[in-house]
Amino acid sequence: MVQIGNLHFENTPIFLAPMEDVSDTSFRMICKELGADVVISEFASADALIRNIRQTEQKLSFCQRERPFGIQLFGNEAGSMCEAARIAQEYNPDFIDINWGCPVKKIAGKGAGAGMLQNLPLLIAITKEVVRSVKTPVTVKTRTGWDETNKPIVELAEQLQDVGVSAISIHGRTRSMMYKGEADWTLIGKIKENPRMRIPVIGNGDVDTAQKALQVKERYRVDGIMIGRASVGNPWIFSAVKSLLEKNMILASPSIEERLAVCKRHFDMTLQDKGEHYGILTMRKHYKNYFRELENFKQTRIKLLTTSCAEEIVSLFQSIEKQYIKQER
């Protein structure tokens, strides 16, 4: 049994990773339907939230069907982080997640996200204040460290537990690795070997098949697994992982028909949520994977990725159906 705040999981919970411009409410709902146990918002800037920036406030909204749901915040200062956490709490999420892992220069360079891995006393102090400022359970998502010479995650995880964090997710890369190289799960495994650790440890990084999920679960004994990039245009990764971990069954890949049906629904939901312009831009991240198995698809893909017209996209979907599905039947 895995417990995070008031949430209880009989089996290893599988998380959809927070991803800016990807893990919006439409995609989260689709991942949920296809097996994700927990979903988290895109990160929201604490400073923007306390200044009532509407676009950031919209990131906190979710549907009941998305539960369990976490709101992720980033910032570099206790006052604004606590105030933002109180605002986030009003939305009644199941937990509030602090981002101490974002490597992007405009965030880490200001000491937020992974930037705080260079100032661990402040990281712990802010986390402690945020935990105290809200009733909602607080979790942390971070990386193994700043760079090759500075990987404090094993001790840091214990210190975060001591200030009241309810769970910790670790992406097995340092800040300086950005998204390059391979995620190093050995340090994540070391956290689990620490007999003082009681809170759930969620492992993250490069899980792109059900087999890989099973392997990291068995080898590193993590309490939960978080999946990001491999879910983009491929939300079936969650059902595949659940099936292998819980029933020891390998699921067949979805048919083209199923892929198209889910993509169409995802498209409709996204445009309804974000409007035509921004919805079309968001969906471009997903097409490559939704249709990755189709032969001679390059021209259609280019059109999907360049048109700004919803009607044209709908007719491209129809042409995919005609060309690939009618043929399949």
Ligand X SMILES: Cc1cc2nc3c(=O)[nH]c(=O)nc-3n(C[C@H](O)[C@H](O)[C@H](O)COP(=O)(O)O)c2cc1C
Residues engaged in binding ligand X (CB under 6 A)? 17-20, 22, 42-43, 72, 99, 101-102, 141, 171, 204-207, 227-230
Taking CA atoms, 91 is separated from 3, 60, 139, in Å, by 22, 7, 16
Catalytic residue (choose from 82, 102, 263, 309):
102
How near is the Cβ of 19 to ligand X at its closest, in Å? Answer: 4
Q: Are strands 2-4 and 7-9 parallel, antiparallel or unpaired?
A: antiparallel
For ligand X, the closer CB: 137 or 300: 137
Taking CA atoms, 214 is separated from 16, 30, 244, 319, in Å, by 16, 23, 7, 38
For ligand X, the closer CB: 42 or 66: 42
Question: What single-letter DSSP state applies at residue 91?
Answer: T
Per the omega criterion (within 30 degrees of 0), is the bond before 68 cis? yes
For ligand X, the closer CB: 228 or 254: 228
Name, in order, each residue with C-beta under 8 angstroms of 118's C-beta and a sequence gap of 6 or more: 111, 146, 150
Distance CA 78, CA 75 (A): 8
Residue nearest to ligand X (CB): 228
Would residue 102 show up in a list of annotated catalytic residues for this protein? yes
How near is the Cβ of 164 to ligand X at its closest, in Å? Answer: 20
How near is the Cβ of 78 to ligand X at its closest, in Å? Answer: 19
Q: Which two tokens stand for residue 276?
A: 């035509």
Contact (Cβ atoms closer than 8 angstroms) between residue 211 and residue 241: no
For ligand X, the closer CB: 205 or 254: 205
Q: Closest Cα partner for 84 from 105, 118, 53?
A: 53
Distance CA 153, CA 165 (A): 14
Contact (Cβ atoms closer than 8 angstroms) between residue 175 and residue 117: yes
For ligand X, the closer CB: 14 or 50: 14
Contact (Cβ atoms closer than 8 angstroms) between residue 221 and residue 189: yes
Q: Closest Cα partner for 45 from 98, 116, 121, 89?
A: 98
Q: Which two tokens stand for residue 208?
A: 């792109």
How near is the Cβ of 232 to ligand X at its closest, in Å? Answer: 8
How near is the Cβ of 299 to ligand X at its closest, in Å? Answer: 26
For ligand X, the closer CB: 101 or 137: 101
How near is the Cβ of 227 to ligand X at its closest, in Å? Answer: 5
Q: Closest Cα partner for 266 from 25, 35, 26?
A: 26
- What are the residue numbers of the active site? 102
